[in-house]
Amino acid sequence: MSNIIPPASLTRSRIAVGVFFFISGLRFATWASRIPDIQNHLHLSDAGLGTVLFALPAGSMAGLPVSGYLVSKYGSRIILYISAMVFPLFILGIGLAGTPWLLALNLFFFGFSSNLLNISVNTQAVALEQLYGKSIMASFHGLWSLGGFCGAAFGTLMVAEHIGVFYHFIIVAALSVFVTQFAFSNTVKQTKAQHKNTSLFVKPDRYLLTLGIIAFSTMATEGTMFDWSGVYFKKIVLAPAQLTTLGYVAFMLTMAGGRFLGDRLITNYGAKQVLRFSGAIIFVGLMTAVLLPNIIAATLGFLFVGFGVASVVPLCYALAGKSATMQPGMAIAAVSSIGFLGFLMGPPLIGYIAQAFSLRISFALIAVFGGMMSVMAGKVKT
């Protein structure tokens, strides 16, 4: 806390940091909303698109240790500003890419810069939460989800109005730069890190590994819901074609809504109890969809899952930021790295198990992750 200079107005700082979370979600959804158009423009097959898309998580993974190092060495505020200003350039690069190789290159740096923004803004949020003296992290992640909804809605409008990808991306990039300039002055001011042993790669301690595994389980669940919920409703629930996205929508609604409720729950009941409850409700929700694969029960189950995952990653980041052995930026990057592996590995694992056994069994395995998370919550320090 000694290196944090309290801002003139905590409320203005909270709004400013929240704005960066919002525009981060907005920009990611902006790219995602135009993937089909970019695929058509570059004449990519599904396999070709899948290969190109791998560049984004590759860039994200490459950016994690670098992000933690830079934030720890130079402070979260300056890295937040740089990443927020650079990020829009790669959105424009994606819109201009005329070959798959250029698209992959821009996606790599898009992922890299997004993690610079992710680690720096979460470090800002941890610092602000300490100044507030209560949980506010989950609401920031709720703003990320809200930005994602707005980005998807605006993308849908751009497609409906036949606005070209590049012009769509110019609008979002210009808005991002303007908002960055407007909000930056009110972010939390921090002095440069005083630790002399800052290094690029630092081994996390057992406690941070525990938080990382909890984040891994949650993000594996999120990845599964993003990539497989529609398939599950189509093949297992046998939902009508117009309702195959119902499970995904249910999950997203309660995940976003749960993040705005999460801070109050954490304040009232404590981090350990919220993590236990979250793991339990993920288990119950997924097993409901597995054991009762009809449209009503499965939708209800996915509603539970969304609420279950809502607060876990924000809470893991907040707890990591209080590490006694690592600087906040490095600790958050370490937990984020382990958690992100779950997001990458979860969906392919579902596919392999579904191929070998069935999709219901693969979803049951992800339910076990929720149960495991509930048990591991007992090791969390509050």
- 27-41 tens-digit pLDDT: 888 888 888 888 889
- Average pLDDT along the chain: 87
pLDDT of residue 172: 94
**Domains 4-189 and 206-379 in one fold:** yes
pLDDT of residue 121: 92
State which CATH number among 1.20.1070.10, 3.20.20.120, 3.30.160.100, 1.20.1250.20 fits the domain covering 206-379: 1.20.1250.20
pLDDT of residue 179: 92
**Closest alpha carbon to 341 in 329, 352, 349:** 349
Domain 4-189 matching CATH 1.10.1060.10: the answer reads no
Domain ranges (residues) in the chain = 4-189, 206-379
- Segment-wise mean pLDDT, segments of 10 residues, the chain, 382 residues: 55 92 89 84 82 83 84 88 91 93 94 90 88 87 87 86 93 93 86 49 79 93 86 90 84 89 91 94 97 96 95 91 82 86 82 88 94 90 69
Going 3 to 203 to 125 to 61, the CA torsion angle's sign is positive
pLDDT of residue 155: 87
pLDDT of residue 2: 43
pLDDT of residue 225: 87
Give the number of other CB atoms < 10 A from CB of residue 182.
11
3-state SS, the chain, equals CCCEECCCCHHHHHHHHHHHHHHHHHHHHHHHHCHHHHHHHCCCCHHHHHHHHCHHHHHHHHHHHHHHHHHHHHCHHHHHHHHHHHHHHHHHHHHHCCCHHHHHHHHHHHHHHHHHHHHHHHHHHHHHHHHHCCCCHHHHHHHHHHHHHHHHHHHHHHHHCCCCHHHHHHHHHHHHHHHHHHHHHHCCEECCCCCCCCCCCCCCCHHHHHHHHHHHHHHHHHHHHHHHHHHHHHHCCCCCHHHCCHHHHHHHHHHHHHHHHHHHHHHHHCHHHHHHHHHHHHHHHHHHHHHCCCHHHHHHHHHHHHHHHHCHHHHHHHHHCCCCCCCHHHHHHHHHHHHHHHHHHHHHHHHHHHHHCCHHHHHHHHHHHHHHHHHHHHHCCC
